[in-house]
Amino acid sequence: MTKLNLALALSSFAAALGAQSAPDQVARTERWVYRPATPIRVDPTSPIADRVTLKFRDSLRVRLAGGELSDRDGADLRAVNGALRGATVARLFTRSTDELDAERERVARNLAAGEAPLADLNNWFAVRTTGAAATERLVEALLAEPHVETAYAEFAVAKTSDIPPPTPLLESSQGYLGAPPAGYAYDAVQTIVGARGQGLYLAQLEGKHTLDHEDVTSVTAATILGVPASANWNSWQQHGTACLGIMGAQRNAYGMRGMASDHAAFYTSSLENGAPNMVSLATAALRAGDVMSSSYAWVVSGLHAPADWDQATYDAIRIAAASGIVYTIAAGNTNHDLADTTIYGNRYLPASTPSGAFITGASGPGDSSRAGFSNFGAVVVANCWGSGVATTGYGSAFDPGDVRQQYTYGFSGTSSATPALAGVIGSLCGAIQEQLGRTPTLAELRGALLSTGTPIPGNGGRIGTRPDLVQLFAAFGLPDGLAVTQDAVLGGTATLAAGGPVGAPHGLLLAFSTGSTGFGANRPLLLDVANLIVAGSAVLDGSGSAQYAFAVPADPSLLGAELFFQGVQIRGGALHLSNSVMLWIH
C-alpha cells in the first residue's frame, strides 16, 4: 500500500449531490386532554393513593410560592388554594421555570403549521393528600374549577414483562440481530460507520438500573438524571438493566451486543422523579436525533396503557418530539386494542394529536405473528421480539454472583421490544448523521418504519412491521458504494464490495481513525487525512462492482483494532465518495 497524494487523487473530481427532502407532516389542530370521569374512585390499598396530578389552562402562568399558587396575570385562584388546604403542593417538573419557558418557545418553532400548541409544563403540579378518600374529594373539587385544565389520581405503573427459564450465555443467541424475516438485519449494516450509534446520546427511563455493569460501563452514577432510585424501585433493577443491554451493550470480547454500542453517552432516570419529569430531564440532556426509551406501562381499568397515556407525560413527550428526540415506548402487554375509546378515550385514535412517541408492539421471536399478549392499534409504529431476547441482567444465562456480570437470554414482553426499536433507530440515526451529515426528522423515521420491514399479517398487522435495517438504510440511500461482505476475524480474510458505474475506475482509501474533510464532493472524506493511505484500486466490472480482500494476521495484539475505509470513483464525470465502513478485528 502506498501513501495517498490527495491533491493528485482528487484534482479531477467535483460536484455534489442534493440533500434528501423530508415528507410532509400531518397537521392536527386539536389537543386532546385527559379528564377522568366522576365520581372519582381510588383504590385505598394503592401505594400511590395519596397522589394527585394537577394542570392549569395554558392561558394562565401559575407559579408556586410559600405553599400558595398564584397566576402572574392575575387570575383568581383562591378557590383552588382553598381546595388544596391540607395537601402538599410541589412543581411536577423540577427544571427551572425559566428553562422550561425558553425550551417551549424554542421548540414551538419546529411545529408544523396548524399543529396543536405545546403545553406549558410550568402549569403542572404534584399534590400529596392524606389518602384515597382525600384524593377522591380533591380531584372532584379541582375538576369543577374553571382555571383547571385537568386533575387526576396518579395511575398505577407496571413493568411489561417477566423472565422465562435460562440458557447458556452466547452472543449468537441474539438472533434478533440477524437476517430477516426473523431478525432486524443489524448484522448486515453494523460495519457502516455510524451504525453502531457513534456520537449518539441514549437514555433509558424507568424504575431502576444496575450501574457499572461490565457490558454497559457508560451507565454510572454520574449519568443519572434527577434523583437516584430509592429502594422502592429495587424490583425494577433487572428489568431496567435488560433494556440497557439491548440498546447499548458495548462492543467487546464478552457479553452481549447493543445496537448503539458506540454511543457517546448513556443516561438513565428513575420513576422516582415522576414519569413526566424524567422525560423532561432527559429532553434537557439529549439533542435532536438522540434516542430514549421506556418499557413501563400505566394500568388503566386493569389494562396496560402506553407511557404517553398520562396527560403530564404526554405533554412532556410533545416537547421532546418537537425537539427532534426519538422516544420509544411500550404498547403494553394486555392484548387490547388501543383504539378502544371506552378505556383510552380518544388518545390513540389516528385523528388525535399524537404525543410523538414511537409506540412499540411485540411479535413472536423468529416468526411473523403478533405476540398474544401485545396491545395493538393503528398508532403502533413497529414491533420487535417479545420473548427469547438475550441481553444483560437477571442472571439466568450467566451469574457469577455479581449483578454487574449478569446476563439472560429470556427477556420478554413489549419491555424487550421497546428498547430493541430504540436500538434500531439509534443505528439508523447514527449512520445518517455520520454518512449524510444531517439529522433525520421524526416524520422521516416514522415514515421509513411504516413503509419497510417484515409484515405481521392479520390482526397482528396492527403492530406495524418488524424493522429491517437493510431496508431502512436503503430508504436513506445507504450504503452508497461500499459494503463489508466478510467481517474481520483474527486469522481470516475480510472482504469489501465496491459498487458504481460499469467500467469506472475505483480507489479504496484506508485510515486508522475517522475525520471529516470537504472536497466539493457528494459527501466529505470521512477518514482522517493524517493517516490516510491507498488500500487498493480496481475497475468496476460488467456488473458495476469490485471486490477487495484482506488477510487478517493471526496476531492477538490486533484484537479490537479498527480500520476505516472509503471508496472514491467517478460518476458522471464528477467525484463520488462512497459511504465509509469499519472493520473491527475480533
Q: Where in the sequence is the domain holding 308, given as residue range(s)?
A: 159-475
Q: What's the rounded Cα separation, in Å, for the pair 35 and 436?
A: 44
The verdict on residue 145 lying in a domain is yes
For the domain that residue 229 is a member of, what is the CATH number? Answer: 3.40.50.200
Under a CB-based contact definition with an 8 Å cutoff, are residues 280 and 246 in contact? no
For the purposes of burial, counting CB atoms within 10 Å of the CB of 85, is it exposed (0-12), middle (13-18) or buried (19 or more)?
A: exposed
Q: Is 26 helix (H, G, I), strand (E, B) or coil?
A: coil
pTM higher than 0.85, yes or no? yes
Helices and strands in the chain: count of H runs, count of E runs: 12, 28
Q: Do 338 and 276 sit in the same domain of this protein?
A: yes
With beta carbons less than 8 A apart as the criterion, state whether 254 and 215 touch.
yes
Alpha helices in 49-131 (DSSP H): 78-83, 97-107
Q: What CATH number has the domain bearing residue 492?
A: 2.20.130.20
292 and 370 in a single domain? The answer is: yes
Return the bridge partners of 158, or none: 297
For the cut 90, the answer to whether the pLDDT of residue 332 exceeds it is: yes
- Is 219 part of any domain? yes
Check whether residue 225 and residue 352 sit in a common domain.
yes
Rounded Cα gap, residues 389 and 394, in angstroms: 12
pLDDT at position 458 is 62
- Do 391 and 490 lie in one domain? The reply is no
Please state, in angstroms and rounded to a whole number, the distance separating the CA atoms of residues 252 and 196.
13
Helix, strand, coil abundance in the chain, percent, nearest 5 = 25, 25, 45
| Domain tally, the chain | 3
Q: Domain boundary at 154, 180, 195, which?
A: 154
Residues 407 and 554 in one domain: no
User: Does residue 408 lie within any of the structural domains?
Assistant: yes
Given pLDDT bands bounded at 50, 70 and 90, which one contains residue 437?
Answer: very high
| pLDDT at position 459 | 55
CA–CA dist 521, 9 (Å, integer): 13
pLDDT band at residue 7 using 50, 70 and 90 as cut-offs: very low
Span 12-66, pLDDT tens digits: 222 222 233 333 344 455 678 999 988 898 888 877 889 999 999 999 999 999 9
Total Cβ atoms within 10 A of residue 518:
10
The set of cell numbers assigned to 270 is: 428513575
The more confident residue out of 377 and 159 is 377
Higher-pLDDT residue of 522 and 11 is: 522
pLDDT at 409 over 90: no
Last residue of a domain, one of 130, 154, 178: 154
Query: What gap in Å lies between CA 557 and CA 550, rounded to an integer?
Result: 17
- Among 43, 13, 28, smallest CA distance to 321 is for 28
Locate 166 and state its grid cell: 435460562
Cβ count near 232 (within 10 Å): 13
pLDDT at residue 461 in the model: 60
pLDDT greater than 50 at residue 428: yes
The three-class DSSP label of residue 371 is: coil
Query: How far apart are the C-alpha atoms of 230 and 220, rounded to whole Å?
Result: 16
Relative to beta strand 525-527, strand 358-363 is: unpaired
410 in a domain, yes or no?
yes
- Same domain? For 460 and 529 the reply is no
Cis peptide before 479 (omega within 30 of 0): yes
- Grid cell 438522540 is found at 290
pLDDT-derived band at 481 (thresholds 50, 70, 90) equals: very high
- Helix pair angle (413-436, 237-248), 10° resolution: 30
Q: Pairing state of beta strands 291-294 and 326-330?
A: parallel
Strands ordered across the beta sheet of 326-330: 224-225, 265-270, 201-206, 291-294, 326-330, 358-363, 380-385
Distance in Å from the first CA to the final CA of the chain: 23
pLDDT digits (tens, 9 = 90+) for 213-226: 999 999 999 999 99
Boundary of a domain, candidates 154, 188, 219: 154
Neighbours of 54 (CB within 10 A): 28
Question: Which residue's entry shows cell 487525512?
Answer: 529
Are 437 and 521 members of one domain?
Answer: no
What length is written for the chain?
Answer: 586
Dist CA 266 CA 291 (whole Å): 10
Which distant-in-sequence residues (6+ apart) come within 8 Å of 222 by Cβ? none
Mean pLDDT of the chain: 89
Residue at 16 is within a domain: no
The maximal CA–CA distance of the chain, rounded, in angstroms, is 83
Asked whether residue 303 falls in the same domain as residue 427, the answer is: yes
% pLDDT > 90, the chain: 76
167 and 293 housed in the same domain: yes
Same domain membership, residue 398 and residue 275: yes
- Are residues 409 and 344 part of one domain? yes
Identify the H or E element spanning 304. Answer: strand 303-305
236 and 360 housed in the same domain:
yes
Beta bridge partners of 128: 51, 88
553, 554, 577: which is closest to 566 by C-alpha? 577
